[in-house]
Amino acid sequence: MRRVLVALVLVSAVLLSGCSLLDKILDLWNDPGGGGGIGGVTFVEMIVNYGFTADVEQFNHTTASQPIVASIPSMSPLMFDPSTTTYTATTALDAEPYVQITITLDSSGSMITYLHAFIRQTYGSSPERTRIDQIYAHDIPYDRVEGLTTFYRIDVDDLGWSGLDVVEYKDWMTALHTEQNPTEWISKNLPAQSYFDADLGRYIEIEFRQ
């Protein structure tokens, strides 16, 4: 009975005050925690940035050292699972670019305990090319807040860090090559962590934007 009375009061209030109150009520129902994220903060975008130098192999059997630099934006609404403190964002399969990001934080939000980011995109013309960048990593600490953006970062100052699991880079001429037979790709002669450790300009930085 009490629930019925509360519902009648809410309906009456909405009728008297217009749609703005209804919007607020719906917001509370859809987001009972008041934030949609750790500490009640709602983030709307994630961007995974990283850069370091690695050996890149070419389809003509040559190898050259070159920068591997990527910036992977979420490109779709963020989903937050409070039971695992995990953020996810995935575009439609036919989206351009196609992006997947999964980031899990510890319960305090002070550390990224799991990171996976993937992007496939086409660019250029005559010839058109396709590129894939992908990273798996863990244990990336909170770094700073600037305005409405929270940063987690690893760079040359973080001596002994060993949380880089996999980095994938592939690039190919769309008309002539494929993902399985790309034009160039990061060499597997060394693990990603070894390439990362050897570069004095190395960084991994994740942005959470409100």
Prediction pTM value = 0.81
Helix or strand (DSSP H, E) at 49 = strand 45-58
109 phi/psi in degrees, rounded to 5: 80, 15
pLDDT digits (tens, 9 = 90+) for 43-75: 999 999 999 999 999 999 999 999 999 999 999
3-state DSSP assignment of residue 92: coil
Token pair of 142, please? 């909170």
Rounded to whole angstroms, the Cα distance separating 40 from 209 reads 14
Q: Quick check: 5 pLDDT over 90? A: no
Residue 190 has what pLDDT? 96
Q: Which of 151-155, 176-180, 190-194, 199-203 has the lowest mean pLDDT?
A: 176-180
- 202: Cβ contacts below 8 Å, ≥ 6 apart: 51, 52, 154, 155, 156, 196
Q: Quick check: 81 pLDDT over 80? A: yes
